[in-house]
Amino acid sequence: AKMAAGSGPGARELFAEGLLQFLRPAVRQLDRHVHSVRESQVELREHIDSLATELCRINEDQKVALDLDPYVKKLLNARRRVVLVNNILQNAQERLRRLNHSVAKETVRRRAMLEAGG
């Protein structure tokens, strides 16, 4: 009767197993998205570096005094922010990996408990 009512250790174990099964795909998908964003951030940083280098070269080659330094500084500031966001994403991805590992370990442990009990 307890099992039918949704209480007791068996029901809790089943609920926990279902919750873990529900979380695993979401964690994996989030990890993939974070990885994709990090790759985009690296690409953006490389483009910013290239553009800053090109602006410096243009500035040196100009016969007329053209002050591109403020634009170069803005690009370098944008690059700094991209690097900062990338570091934050890297930390988040590492936490996601640890969470995914914990979910996998807990799933294995609960399966073993269910199989031993059943």
Which amino acid is located at 31 in the chain?
A: D
In a domain, 1, yes or no: no
Judgement on whether residues 51 and 13 belong to the same structural domain of the protein: yes
- Stated pTM of the model: 0.56
* Mean pLDDT (whole number) for 1-12: 57
In a domain, 20, yes or no: yes
Tokens of 6: 């949704």
Judgement on whether residues 74 and 106 belong to the same structural domain of the protein: yes
Sequence-ordered list of residues with C-beta below 8 angstroms from that of 56, at least 6 positions apart, any chain: 68, 72
Judgement on whether residues 93 and 50 belong to the same structural domain of the protein: no
Judgement on whether residues 91 and 60 belong to the same structural domain of the protein: no
* Domain membership of residue 52 as a residue range: 8-65
20 contacts 36 by C-beta, under 8 angstroms: no
For 17-60, write each residue's pLDDT tens digit: 788 788 888 888 888 898 899 899 889 989 988 988 888 888 77
For 59-111, write each residue's pLDDT tens digit: 777 766 677 778 888 888 998 999 999 899 899 889 988 988 888 888 888 88
